[in-house]
Each structure stands twice: as structure tokens, then as C-alpha cells.
Structure 1
Amino acid sequence: MLDRLLDAVRWGGSGALVVRGEPGVGKTALLDHMVVRASGMRVLRAAGVQSEMELAFAGLHQLCAPILESADRLPGHQRDALRTALGLSGGEAPNRFLVGLAALGLFAEAARERPLVCVVDDAQWLDRASALALGFAARRLGSESVAIVFGVREPDGTPELTGLPELAVAGLPHDEARALLSAALPGRVDEEVLDRIVAETQGNPLALLELPRGLTAAELAGGFGLPDAKGLTSRIEESYRQRLSTLPTETRRLLLVAAAEPLGEPMLVWRAAERLGIGVEAMTPATAAGLLQIAAQVRFRHPLVRSAVYRAASPKERRGAHRVLAAVTDPDVDPDRRAWHAAQATTGPDEDVATELERSAVRARARGGPAAAAAFLERSAELTQDPARRAERALAAAQAKHQAGAPDAARCLLSLAMAGPLDTLQRALADLLRAQIAFAVRRGGDAPPLLLNAAKQLEPLDARLARETHLDALSAAWFAGTCVREAAEAARAAPPAPGPPDAADLLLEGFATRFTDGYAAGAPRLKQALLAFRSPDLPGAVGLRWGWLACITARDLWDDEGWEVLATRYVELARDAGALTVLPLALSLRIVVHSFLGELSAAASLTHEVETISEATGNPVVPYGAVLLAAWQGREAEADEVMSAATRQLVQRGEGVGLSIAGWARALLANSLGRSQDALAAAEQAGDRPAGVGLAPWGVLVELIEAAARRGMVERATAALGQLSEATRASGTEWALGVEARSRALMSEDETAERLYGEAIDRLGRTRVRGELARTHLLYGEWLRRERRRRDAREQLRTAHEMFTTMGMEAFAERAARELQATGQRLSSRTAETSGEMTAQEAQIVRLVREGLSNSEVGARLFLSPRTVEWHLRRIFSKLQITSRKQLLR
């Protein structure tokens, strides 16, 4: 498999592989074989080191350092993110996946000269930031002539590499294992003993070679595998420890220094050895025993040798090794590693070391390493004697753990912090963090009361933060579909913001009023909030944090123009910031906008991008946009699959508003198929859920009114229309009033119905909401046919059919076709425009190129390297029988 991967890379392909197996099974030997076979290629090597797991991007730096000169050719955002992550320049903390994209681009640039092979051994010990970045890059390889191969120890897990191709390395077959064991033994051994050793080791090559060295002749004669035998890894380490015990004291001390120093930097090890009075001659026994080599790099025979050396030492000896390493590490060049060594050398409270760790946490956070910042802060808290200071540092560590996506660890540190003497503000911040963790883990009913409690505590302490927390509480209540009114009343009673209200303040006031006094009362303030969010002076951080709420507010107010502007800006903000945790939500909102505007092809393209990000980050995304897109497309089998999967996910997460959206989508799909009974059932079920902000409530009412009217249930339709009218009249937009006119027409007769249909078409024709306009033509045509005005009906139905077909709304188009046939009209066969044989990704590249994006910009958008974009364009040109970007634009 490794040879085939190398051959593919030589011919311009790329690929990634994870070599998995237990310790000693031969992973490193296979990787060494690959390096030898990679003649004519550039090879980069790195290895995870257990003691460096808390240092953000340490593994990435180790791998990329030799090719950093190529970073100047990367797009600006990527270059800056990579340099900041590796500590080469200052700047805002980079998004970790932007760093991953930069790593991909760096590998692609380095491979322009000759194919590149990246080998990462012991990947289970990579720091999480490096593992995420390298896993991201490995998943996005295309046509760069790059191979990335990871060696991973089992059973240790490396979730950041999940989904990559794997090669599982097992033990040797029985006969080959016996042959290897026989070669390693000093003399003849009983056949049954050989078989027992082979069975005990399960053919593990390192165990077969190393374990017999720790056994006496008597033990070999008596058999292998005592009743108290430890696990294989422990037994191998024990065999190494027995070999260590025979070495001179000075050699063991040198080995311990090398084991405690993760960089593998020879000069650092020798400087430490010199301080300990250890001479160069101490190296000779270690080399003779095959345990350690010190040349251009310090390398142990096997990672288990490092473990055995470190564990064999006493705690006092380990602290001594770390102390001397801290002393010889340059505080200007590598202050964080120096602080970490100093922390490991300290037994009791030490405020100086704790302060240095705190500074290291600040630097780690600036490089985009919240996990590293959390580790530094956690150890800093452990070394702090003053109870108040210790609680403060534990709280900071808990916040960093939460940012790093480790909720369980964050809860433990939060408990430690809350056990200390926190002041009033700190206790309020602790409660806020507890609420944020609850909301992040499960967006159900647990978070709203916790956020509400935190907001009330913050009111006398920090009015601005209190109001932001109240808005968080309202949002969480909406998500869960619980205690919305309670959260709104608390928000209304909160102290006003210091100074003029900003965009978030206006949102808070508008929603608080809406959920206490009704939609009409809250609408004016919410309209002011939307104007504030559309202002060019809006700070990017505010838009990024609350943009999602502004988008659904625009939809809630039937403001189609503002909805599109805000959704577009929200996506741009998320892209510019590299905020891949926010971008899927922003894209989902944009997908819904595209769907209502009848731009289903563009919506489908973004759906593919959401899936790409979810795959790249490993974070599942609730597909709100995909659910509504599927409903508008009207492909029943596909839509049912998407909606069922989304519903299961929403139930698990406890997101009440999401279940309302899913119900709305089912009602819309059923109406498009002409199944009014199913539409009514879905709309009523969705309407039974507590009303929340945003997409679902009025959309559900629109579907319910149509379904009830078609079933002849006038009273049910009239009641829903009363609820709908409250919103449409308060909104006053052409979209709102057009939908209301259409809904009233469904329950009217004769001239009144005709006048209302005409009004609806006139109003909706002034908007960009093409889907609703086409539906109005369809409903009007159906009414005209029932009135036996076939000629007039055909005009409306042809218009509807043409619009639905062009937009790709297949079920609605089929419904319009059936109605046309009922009027005696024969349809010519016509299919919607398609992109030929292009894949979804190729079609997306075409759209982006047509927008004027360069290959680098397209690659950044789609998480591909520019070379992969070039490869796709060559395929696209071939399929379209063109030769240039200019022809593509035409």
C-alpha cells in the first residue's frame, strides 16, 4: 500500500494513509521503508512526543519548519494564520482550520519542485492543534503530488484522523514469528516454549525480539507468561527497564535527560548533561545497547524506550532532569517550553513558575491554541498557593478548556474554581461558563435557566455583559422552545445599556417586547435593530456573534431585501474570520434565502460546502438549510431522507425550534405534492410547539392555511389567518401583504377572490421571493380552472409551470403540469437546465470562477489547494469543450 501511494504521488496524484497498530508491531519500520523508497522526492519527518501534547502546533512546526520559505506564496490570510500559529509573528489568534488550509497550501507549494512525502510517526501524541491541522490537510489532498502518512499506536485513539484511509498492521503469522524468535534466542529452546511465546506476543515483532532478552535461561526453559503477566506494552517496557538497570549510572542519567527533552535537539541535551557533570563517554553504553543515538537528532530505538527510561526514574530524578532542561532552555527563544520544564520540576507551590505559565497561556491563546492555554493555566493553578489566585486561574483554565471543545475537563476545573473564594463577578462568570457549557453540549432545556441566572447576577456588576447574556438566554430559550416568556420578562427588567443602544441592545429590546407584548409591539424595535446590523459601521465582532439572529429576524419581519443583505454579509464575515464553527450556520441561513428566492442551484452548491466543512472539521451540522431546500426541490424520496435524519438529530439535541422548522418543511413538501391532508397534519404538529423567533411560525401558518382551505376546513384556516395577519400587518412589506392577500383569496369567492389573487401577484412581483410568486400563480390558476375559466387558467398555470421548472421546484412544477392537462393544455417536454456531467464540486468551482475568484481564492473557499483547483478546471474545460477561463465566463 505504501509503495502504491508513492507511485501515485510520482505521477502527480496525492493521498493520505494512517498506519495503525499496537506498539512494536512494525509501524516505524514500515515508515522507514517508505522513506528509503521515496528516492527523488522531498521527505519531511515528524514524530509526536507525549510531553509536547499540551504545546499548540508543536508537531506542525516540527514538520513544516524545513519548507517555511514557501509560505510567502500562500494567500495572505493563510500565510498570516500559519506564521501566527507557529509563533513566527504576532496577530490575532488564527482559526485552527485556516491553519490547516495554510498547511495544505504549504505542502502543495513545496511539491511544485518535486513530489513531497510527509511522515508523522506516533501521531497519537501530537498536540491537538497540530493533529487537527494535519488531519484537515490530509482530507483535502487532491492533485498536489503530496503524500501524508501517519503512524498511530493502538489502542490509543486519534479522532482528528478519523475517515482517512487506514492500513492496520497486525502481528507476524505463526511460522514467521517462530523464525524471528528463534533468530533472537541465544540457543535452542523447547518447541512448546517457542509456541507459547509466539502465542503470548501474538506475533508482535518487537516483543519477539526484546522480551527474551529480559528472561533467564531457567525462565525460558520453564515457559513464558506467568499468571501475573502484564499487558504487552508494559512487558516490553519492563524488558527495556531490565536492560537499563545494567547500564552505568551516568548513562541512565543521560538517557533520562534525553527522554524528558521532547525536541530531540542534541545541543540542548549536551548542555543539560554538562550541567549535570555527565561526559560524552556516557553515551557509549547506550549506543552499544541499541537504545539511543545522538547525531543530527536525538532518537530512541523505539518510543517505548523513552517511556521505559522516564518511568524507571524516581520522581526526584525526573524533577532534576526537568530542572536542568529549564535552566538550559533559552527563555527568549522558547519561553513556553522552558516554563513547562520548570513546572514539571516543581513539587510545591511556586508563584514565579505559576506566573510564567500564565504568560505562556497568553501566548498560546494568541497562537490559536486554547488547549495549550488551558494546560498551562491548569498547571499554574496547581502551583498557586494563594486560594483566591488559585481559583481565578482555575476559572481561566476552565474557560480555555471550554473554548478548546473539552466540556468535561472544563466542568472539572470549574468545580475547582467554584470551591475557592471567588468574588461576586468571578462567581457570576463561573455561572455563565457553566451555562455556556450546557448550551454547547446540548441545546435543550438545561441552558436557558442557567444563562438567565448568570445574566441576573451580572446586572449590578457589568451591564453590557449582562445584556449580552440576556440575549444568549433568549436565544437558548428559543432553541429549546422553553421559558421564552420568562427570559423575555427578565430581559425587559434588566438595566439599560451604558450609552446609546447598539445593534445587539436593539435586538434584545425588540425580542423582549415581542415575547411579552406581542409581535406588533416588538416589530418597530426589531426593524431598528436590522437597520443597525446593515450599517457599514457595525463592528465585525458584533456581526459575527449576532449575525445569525439578525438574519432570522429579517425573515421574521418578512424583509426579503434585508434578509438577503444580512445573510450575505454574515457569510462574508465568517469567511474573512476563518470562523469554521460559525460558517456552517451562516451558509445554512444563506441556503434558505436562496431557496425562497428560487435560486435552488446556488442553494445546493452551498449545501455541498456545508457538508465539506462538516467533514473537514468533524463537527456534525444540523442541516436547517438542506431541509428547506429539499422541501422546495420537491424530490420526495431525497427530501424524506434529509428530513428524517435532521429530525433524529434535533430530537437528540433537544432543539425545539429545529423540530418546528422540520415540520414546516414537511408541510411545504406535502403541499407541493398536492397532498393537503398530509400538509395539514405536518403543519398542525409543527404549530403545536412553542412559538419562537425566526423561520418556523409564520411559514407553518402559510402552509396550514393552504392545506386547510383545500380540505374545506374554513374555520381552521380562518383561525390561522388571524394569527398570520398580526405579523403581516405589523411587518407591512410587500412580501408579507402579498402572502396575506393570497391566503385570504384561498377562503374567498367570486370577485373578492380574483381581486385578492391579483393583489398578491402584484405585491409579490415587486419582491425577489420568486417561489411564493410562482405558488400564487399556481393557486390562482387552480381557482380559475374550478371557475371553468380555462383560457385564463392556462395563462396562470403556464406562468407557474415555467417558473417552477426554471427554478428546479420539481413537485410544484408537476402539480402545475397536472392542472394544465386538466384544462386540456398539452405540454412540450422540457427539462430544467443542468450542468451536464459535472460533479457538484465542479459546478461549484465554475460558479466561483464566474464570480471572478482566482484559483487560490476558490481553493480557500472550498478547502482545496490551488493545484487541485487547477486540476478540476482542466477536467471542467474538457467536459465543456473549452480551453480558457474567458470561454468559461461566456
Structure 2
Amino acid sequence: MSTLFGREREVATLEGLVDGVHERGAALVVRGAAGIGKSALLAAVTERAEAGNLLVSTASGVQSETHLPFAGLHQLLRPMLGAAGQLPARQREALLGAFGMSEAGDPEPFLVALAVLNLLGDTATDRPLLIVVDDVQWLDGPTTEVLGFVARRVRSDPIVLLMALRDGHPTSLDASDLPELRLTGLESAAAEALLDAQAAGLSVGMRWRVLSEAAGNPLALVELPLALGAGAVTAEAAWLPLTARLERAFAVRLAELPPHTRALLLVAAANDGHDVADALAGGGIVAGAVLTAEALAPAVDAGLVELREQALRFRHPLVRSAIYQKAGRTDRLAAHAALALVHERDPDRRAWHRAAAIAQRDESVATELEGVAARARQRGAIPVAVTALRRAAEVSEEPAAGAHRLLTAAELAFELGRGDQAAELLALARPSVLGELPHARGLWLSEMLGEGRNDGPARIHRLVTTAEAAHAAGDRELALGFVRAAAIRCWWSDPGWEQRGSVIALAERLAAGDDDPELLVTLATAGAVERCADVIERLAKIRHTRLDADVTRLLGVAASSVGAFDLVGDFMESSIADLRIQGRLGLLTRALSTQVWRQIFCGDWAGAVLVAEEAERLARETGQPRRQASALGMLALLAGLRGEEERGLALAAEGERVLGTVAISAVAALIEHARGVIALCAGRHDDAFGHLWRLFEPGDAAHHMIWRLWVISELAEAAVGAGRTEPARRAVAELEQVAARTPSPLLHVGLRHARALLAGDAEAEALYQDALGADLSRWPTARARLLLTHGMWLRRRRRIQEARVPLRAARDAFDVLGLLAWGEKARQELRAAGETSDLRVAPAAELLTSQELHIARLAASGLSNREIGQQLYLSHRTVSTHLYRAFPKLGITSRGQLRDALEQAAPGYTSRD
């Protein structure tokens, strides 16, 4: 433990996590430069954990294993896999399929991650568990993704997850919000003590030089004196980066080793495993002789490698790197060729080593790598598939075949949410793309990558033309993709009916029938006004039909696009349930985002908060910034409605930050809608009008032809308060023309409200009665707001007794809905009308955190902790912890009391104003 000199604080931090694991789980990233002492620190805390009777599981990344899917995860979980049989069937199949231990068709990566989380939680039931992962930067991508997923969810489990990685190597953990412990160089006193303990006989000049060049790096303090003494680090080398100097320090020892030992070490450095037998077999092929473990003895004596049972391990990753880099190119090719023979029975390893052993293009190698990609996709290891296809393209003999492989890799990268990588692969493919369909595939991907751009009618025309070409070439699915993209463009910016009509006409030609979900989505997004009646009629016909998750999600999107939010739930609830079971979190995020608006407009505000928070978290985890920005906008609006103005504005600003410079008018409109409602609830009518008017102003980044239909009542209310009724009347008049062509429910609800608000005294009474007389049973929020404004109108005309009736009804409705800001407005109006109101007492359910309430609702519906965990992608132990905290807040002691406790969410009343 010599490298732990001066690390008392860091050791105490890690030991504190281990000692506290009985009360709370934790995850920590240990980050620092090469040789800074990460491994020694992890070894020290591992020793402490074993002495404290914790279970310990360890894994370490190996640079040559980064292309083997889930290799690191298998290393970590190998001792626990015997318990995998206790996992739910889909999780078990996904996990074993990821390891190639069973057949699994395209398992979802997040289903694998949930299986790992539950397996670790079950393992930690009897004894707390310490998981130590070193050299994370060299783990395969799928393993790193799973570790990030687990790390965000272990707080309620007796699990500590420590992950160490080297600076300068990007990983998926970089963008996470996990806590970090950054290791820097030792302070002067500790560095001197370590150097003197290792090399006491150094001259004053040499000692000063080592301290200066090592800069507190523990490995350098140990190795540089040896290298300087052997002449391996010269004055010229002093200008090299420290890592390079350390590699040179290790490499110099190679020259003193026998040729067979050097060949054996090179093969071991190139190998993607630690097995001694593999290294001996490969080394023997390179050396042309049968080698035994005796050939490793000189390397062991030189302190370069260690033998542990049947495993050969390098003393430090820099040793492996030094050996590989020191070898000539011809020797490296020979080492990989030998390993390809050694791994003849493992097609993935063989293919990677064959690819590393050639200096020219080879179609047979490219074909093998395509097989690697196919198997990686079947196991849910999409990043590995992308890497394999890119390498396959590099060694392809025919440019067109290489372009096809690059296009496939780019499409997979896009599915992962890695737009930059997809764009790079697409750019590499373009010069060699031949044929109409490959060209169309490239255009389709380019369209998806430029989703935030809005180039107007010209772009829509190109999309329609390309869709027609794809259809003529025989690819209906690709053609439908272009039609859908064109329809979305029409949703963002109205190019006029001529172009929107051409999009719809092509969609109808390609549709499988009138009720084809793809067609209904296109009708709703390209013809939200003109074809609204058709969409609603067709949705109403099939609303109770049992369909699969993809179909119902599309139908829910169609309903929301035409403002029929009262129909959205009929489709989205079943879609969300299926997507949860399937582990398709990317699509689940989109479905949740659509569901939120149904809940907001139809009055389930508590549910809306839960779903919006889950959508934001999942969008962040699945790399969907547009969806995350939308979810933040929804949460901003919800915060404003609860009177949390400061929080709402912060959430809106965060939504803009996440969206960045991408111009997506629908998201900009949503965020301005949220800001307008926040200002309206705070009584800042001028600000509210300014934000909401942007949706109506052509040319503004937040202008949206459809979204404006849904905020007309808020605009009218802000306009009355700000004294700016004339522009609001113009907006209403314009939307009256729209309403004459569409039965969009939310538009008509809002227009009836706006007409009454903006009318003169002679017409207002009749308009309010007309608005209140409409069927608002599925629009409770709209009804409550209408009652409030009607009561306010009556009071301002000194019809006090009459005013109290709608104001009381509004107050009670807002209280039930949990809309605190508007509930307070109703109380203020009642006070002005001479009537006091009891203060609203928050129901017990509102004392719960969002996640506690979500879990309590699911538990009340009869789901077990494991079933809830599967739905929310949490461990069952985490679910149990949240319920344990929720029970006393609800004043109950058992699960059987949950339903009644939650049903009593209607407010009680105690004290007077």
C-alpha cells in the first residue's frame, strides 16, 4: 500500500461509504490520471470491506476487451449468476441473452440493466455488497451503460458501487450527475516520504528531478528512479507527457528479456482476456515453439506481470500499453493472427483479431465483422455493433458494401441517441453510396439528424419527392418514414394547404387502410385542422380495441395532435404499460410526454407531475434532449399552477438550456406557454400576455400554428388583465375561422371561454352561460377556470350574491385538483365579495414526494414491490423503502390501507382566513 502515502482523506471518504452501507447505498466515481493511485485506493477499501464481512464483487476493464459485449458485466456478475433464476422471466432472458447464455431476440438494454439491479439487490439481501470496478474507461460500452443505470438507483439498497477511471478517456458516465472523488498528485511531504521509502539512496540532484517530474504521481515516484538509473528516461524524455515516460520506463525492461518471453508478453498484451493458456498458445505460434509457464518467469522477476492461478495480469495497465506500443507493426499483426487461431471457436474474438491482423482490405473479414454486429444487436449491445460495422466498412473490398455497413452503423448510432457519431458515419458513407434505396436511407438519416432544423416548404417538397422514389424502389417502410417526417415539418411550420395536402395524399396512397396508425398520425400532424374530424371519428371507432404498444402510441399522438386530449388516455395508458414491460425506454419517454398533456388538460394534475418527472428522468438517461426539454417545460407549467413561481421559471430556463441552439418551435411554444401561465398565476398580466403572444406572432421562434389553438383562453385572460384586449380579439377572430373547419375539442373549449372574457357587458352573460352549459365533464380544469372568471365578472359588476356561487365552486374545484395558485385567486375574489374561506389543508397524499406517491398509487392498485420495480425501473428494495417512508405520512400502518388513504385526497378545512 505504498501508494497510499498522503491519502488519508480519500481513504476515510471511501471507508465512510462502506461503513454506512447498512443505512444507505452509494455510488462514487474515482477519477484521476494514470498512476495516480486509484487501484491502490480501491484495493484498500476492498480489504476494509472484506474485513467488515461485506460481500465484494470486482471487475476491471481491459483495453483489448472494449469490443466484447457485456464482457465487463459478465466478469462482475459471474459469482451471482446462479441466482438469476429468481429474476422475472423477461429480465432473466434479457440478462442471460446479453451474456450469450440463452436465446434472446433483440433484448432492450434497459431490461438488462433492470435485471442487473435486481440481481445485485437480491444478492445484498443478507449481506451488504461492495462492487469495485477499476479502469472503467476500458470497459465495453454496454457494461458502462448498465453501471451508470445501477449507480443512479442504489441509494435504498445496501450496495456501494465504486468506479475508477482515468482522465482523458470519455465514457457515458461523464454526463451523469454521479458524485466524484478526484485524485490529484500527492502533497510535497507525502511525495517525499514515498520516494524516500522506495529509493533512499538517490543523490540530491536525482531526488529533486524525480520529485519535479513525478509531480506527486505515486506510480512515477516508484518507477522513475528505476528508469533514471537504467538510463531509460533521458533529458529528451523529460519533455514527454508523464504517461509516455512511464510507458518508456516499463518498456526498457523488455530489452533484458529472452525473445520467447517478449513474444509471449506481446500476445498477452494483444489478447482480450487474462487466460494463461491462451497467451502461451498464441506466444508459441509467434515464437514457433511450444511454450510453458516457465517462459513467463523472467517477466515475473522483472515486475512486469503477475501469475494468479490460471490468470496472467500485468502489474499496471501502462505495462500492457508499453509492451504493445514498443512492438513493431509486423510483430503486432503476427500476434493478432496467432490469437485469431487460438480463438477459432469463438467467432467474435476470432473476427476482431483477424481484423487487427490484416494490413489490407479483406471481404471475408468484413463479413465476419458483420456477424459480430448481428450477434451484438441480438444481445442488446448496440454500441459494439456500431464499432464492428465501422471496422467492417474499413476492410470492405467493395466501396458500395462499405457504404452499406456505414449506413447501418449510422442508423444504429442514431437509435442510441448519439447524433454526432451518426453524422460522422453518414459523412464517411456518402461518397460511396450507390443506388436509389441506399441514397434514400442516407437522406432519411440526414433528415432525422437535422430534426430541429426547419427549412420550410422546400424541405417538405424534397421529403415528399424522396418518399415517392423510395416507394417506387419497393421500400414502403422507408417511404412512410419520409412521409411522417414531412408531416412533422408541417406541424412545426404551416407551408400552406397545397403542400400539406400533397403529404396527406401520399400517406393515403401508402396506407394499409383508413385506420392505419401511420396514416392517422400524418392526417393529424399535416391536417390538424382540415382532417381533424376524420381523425377523431376513426379514433373513436377503435378506442377500445386491443392493439400493440407501437400502434396505440401512434394513435395517442394522433389524438393529442388534434387537441382531442380526452381520447389520448384510451390509447396511451395501454401503450405505456406494454412499453414498460418490454423495457423500451426510448419510446416510453415519448409516450409519457404525450400522456402528460392529457393529464394537464383533463385535470389529473397530481398524475401529471409524476409522469412529467419520470419523462424528464428517462429522457435524460436515454439521450433525448428534445423530450427532456419538453418535460422540463411541462414541469415548469405545473410548478406555476401550484404557485411555485421561482421554481417554474428555473425549470423553463433549464428546458431552454437543454434544448440548446436547436430551433424546434413546438418546444419553444411549450416553454413560452409555461412562462405565460406562471406569470398569469402570479398576477403579472403584462408578462403573461408577452409570453403567450409569441405563439401567435408569425416569424417568432415560438410561433406555432396548432399550439396557439390550445392557449387562447390564457391569452384572453392575460389580455383582460393587461388591458390589451384588441390584439386578443384579433386572435380570437382568426381562430374562429379555424374552429369553423375543425371539431378540435380543446380549441372549442378555449374559444368559448375567450369569447366570454373579451365580450362587452351586453354579450358576456349569454356567452358565459353558453360556455358553462357545454359538456365539460372531461375538462375539469377548464370548467374551474371558467367558473372563476365568471365569478370575477359578476363581482366587478357588483352582483355580489350571484358572484359567490361560481367563486365557491371554482375554489372547491381548484382545491380538489391541487391547483394552489388558482385556488388562492378564488379565495381572494371571495374575500372581495365579502365571504371568508377556510384555508385549504393539504391532503396527506400531498405530503409524499413524487416518487413516493407514484409507488403508493401502484401499490394501492394491487401490484407487488417487484411488479412496481419493473414498471418504474427501480429495485424492489427501493420500492419497499419508499413505501416505508410513505406510510407514516399517510397515517397508515399497512398496505391494505393505501387505497382509502389515497382516495381521501380531497382537502379538509380547519382554520379561518
1:312 corresponds, among 326, 329, 351, to: 326
The verdict on how the C-alpha distance between 1:547 and 1:277 changes in structure 2, with shifts beyond 3 A counting, is farther
- Cα displacement string for residues 383-432 of structure 1 (whole angstroms, at most 9, x for unaligned residues): 22123322222222322333334333333332332222511111111111
What corresponds to 2:906 in structure 1?
none
What corresponds to 2:549 in structure 1?
540
- Cα displacement string for residues 103-149 of structure 1 (whole angstroms, at most 9, x for unaligned residues): 11111111123222211111011112111111110121023222211
2:299 corresponds, among 283, 286, 294, to: 286
Say which SS state the counterpart of residue 837 (structure 2) adopts: coil
Alignment of 1:148-227 (within 5 A): 148-160=161-173, 162-185=176-199, 188-216=201-229, 225-226=235-236
Distance 1:196 1:824 in 2: 86
2:730 corresponds, among 710, 716, 719, to: 719
Say which SS state the counterpart of residue 157 (structure 1) adopts: coil
What corresponds to 1:613 in structure 2?
618
What corresponds to 1:258 in structure 2?
268
Say which SS state the counterpart of residue 151 (structure 1) adopts: strand
Determine if the alignment matches structure 1 residue 578 to structure 2 residue 587. no
What corresponds to 1:839 in structure 2?
849
1:417 corresponds, among 429, 438, 444, to: 429
Whether the 8 Å CA contact 1:738–1:761 is kept in 2: the answer is: no
Give the AA of the match of 1:13: R
Whether the 8 Å CA contact 2:753–2:768 is kept in 1: the answer is: yes
Determine if the alignment matches structure 1 residue 55 to structure 2 residue 68. yes
Determine if the alignment matches structure 1 residue 323 to structure 2 residue 323. no
Whether the 8 Å CA contact 1:503–1:529 is kept in 2: the answer is: no
Whether the 8 Å CA contact 1:734–1:764 is kept in 2: the answer is: no
Whether the 8 Å CA contact 2:490–2:525 is kept in 1: the answer is: no
Alignment of 1:562-601 (within 5 A): 562-601=567-606
Distance 2:505 2:610 in 1: 44
Determine if the alignment matches structure 1 residue 805 to structure 2 residue 815. yes
Alignment of 1:24-103 (within 5 A): 24-39=35-50, 40-103=53-116
Determine if the alignment matches structure 1 residue 384 to structure 2 residue 396. yes
Determine if the alignment matches structure 1 residue 682 to structure 2 residue 694. no
Give the AA of the match of 2:557: L
The verdict on how the C-alpha distance between 1:437 and 1:490 changes in structure 2, with shifts beyond 3 A counting, is same
Whether the 8 Å CA contact 1:656–1:689 is kept in 2: the answer is: no
Task: Please state how far the C-alpha of 1:686 moved relative to its aligned partner.
Answer: 1.8
Bigger shift: 353-362 or 535-544?
Answer: 535-544
What corresponds to 1:889 in structure 2?
899
Bigger shift: 55-64 or 792-801?
Answer: 55-64
What corresponds to 2:911 in structure 1?
none
- Cα displacement string for residues 155-174 of structure 1 (whole angstroms, at most 9, x for unaligned residues): 32334253222222223332
Determine if the alignment matches structure 1 residue 7 to structure 2 residue 7. no
Say which SS state the counterpart of residue 313 (structure 2) adopts: strand
Distance 1:865 1:329 in 2: 38
What corresponds to 1:550 in structure 2?
558
Task: Please state how far the C-alpha of 1:829 moved relative to its aligned partner.
Answer: 2.6
Whether the 8 Å CA contact 2:417–2:622 is kept in 1: the answer is: no
CA RMSD of aligned residues (A): 2.9
Determine if the alignment matches structure 1 residue 627 to structure 2 residue 636. yes
Distance 1:342 1:218 in 2: 37
Determine if the alignment matches structure 1 residue 127 to structure 2 residue 137. no
What corresponds to 2:503 in structure 1?
491
Alignment of 1:436-455 (within 5 A): 436-439=448-451, 442=452, 445=455, 451=463, 454-455=466-467
Distance 1:878 1:585 in 2: 35
What corresponds to 2:662 in structure 1?
653
Task: Please state how far the C-alpha of 1:881 moved relative to its aligned partner.
Answer: 4.8
Distance 2:229 2:823 in 1: 84
The verdict on how the C-alpha distance between 1:728 and 1:70 changes in structure 2, with shifts beyond 3 A counting, is farther
Say which SS state the counterpart of residue 400 (structure 1) adopts: helix
What corresponds to 1:816 in structure 2?
826
- Cα displacement string for residues 56-80 of structure 1 (whole angstroms, at most 9, x for unaligned residues): 2221112112211222222333222
Task: Please state how far the C-alpha of 1:252 moved relative to its aligned partner.
Answer: 0.7
Task: Please state how far the C-alpha of 1:591 moved relative to its aligned partner.
Answer: 2.3
1:854 corresponds, among 864, 877, 897, to: 864
Give the AA of the match of 2:378: A
Distance 1:624 1:713 in 2: 26
What corresponds to 1:364 in structure 2?
376
Scaled by the length of structure 2, the TM-score of the pair is 0.89
Distance 1:477 1:523 in 2: 15
1:340 corresponds, among 318, 341, 352, to: 352
Bigger shift: 791-800 or 670-679?
Answer: 670-679
Distance 2:581 2:156 in 1: 26
Whether the 8 Å CA contact 1:370–1:404 is kept in 2: the answer is: yes
Whether the 8 Å CA contact 2:417–2:624 is kept in 1: the answer is: no
Say which SS state the counterpart of residue 27 (structure 2) adopts: strand
Give the AA of the match of 1:23: A
Say which SS state the counterpart of residue 94 (structure 1) adopts: coil
Whether the 8 Å CA contact 1:455–1:466 is kept in 2: the answer is: yes
The verdict on how the C-alpha distance between 1:190 and 1:279 changes in structure 2, with shifts beyond 3 A counting, is same
Say which SS state the counterpart of residue 38 (structure 1) adopts: helix
Report percent identity of matched pairs.
36
1:351 corresponds, among 349, 352, 363, to: 363
Say which SS state the counterpart of residue 494 (structure 1) adopts: helix
Give the AA of the match of 2:371: R
Alignment of 1:819-830 (within 5 A): 819-830=829-840
Determine if the alignment matches structure 1 residue 604 to structure 2 residue 612. no
Determine if the alignment matches structure 1 residue 403 to structure 2 residue 415. yes
Whether the 8 Å CA contact 1:2–1:34 is kept in 2: the answer is: yes
Distance 1:489 1:126 in 2: 51
Distance 2:110 2:453 in 1: 24
Distance 2:510 2:600 in 1: 37
Give the AA of the match of 2:151: A
The verdict on how the C-alpha distance between 1:678 and 1:36 changes in structure 2, with shifts beyond 3 A counting, is closer
Distance 1:738 1:188 in 2: 89
Alignment of 1:140-155 (within 5 A): 140-155=153-168
The verdict on how the C-alpha distance between 1:663 and 1:177 changes in structure 2, with shifts beyond 3 A counting, is closer
- Cα displacement string for residues 500-557 of structure 1 (whole angstroms, at most 9, x for unaligned residues): 3553443365247637xxx2x322332255347736354433444x35632422xx34
Say which SS state the counterpart of residue 293 (structure 1) adopts: strand
Distance 1:753 1:775 in 2: 16
Segments of 5+ residues of structure 1 without an aligned counterpart are none
What corresponds to 1:503 in structure 2?
516
Whether the 8 Å CA contact 1:142–1:865 is kept in 2: the answer is: no
Give the AA of the match of 2:647: E
What corresponds to 2:539 in structure 1?
530
The verdict on how the C-alpha distance between 1:326 and 1:392 changes in structure 2, with shifts beyond 3 A counting, is same
Distance 1:735 1:400 in 2: 38
Give the AA of the match of 2:35: G
Whether the 8 Å CA contact 1:254–1:278 is kept in 2: the answer is: no
Whether the 8 Å CA contact 2:480–2:510 is kept in 1: the answer is: yes
Distance 1:702 1:641 in 2: 25
What corresponds to 1:23 in structure 2?
34
Segments of 5+ residues of structure 2 without an aligned counterpart are 1-12, 901-913
The verdict on how the C-alpha distance between 1:195 and 1:284 changes in structure 2, with shifts beyond 3 A counting, is same
1:746 corresponds, among 743, 747, 757, to: 757
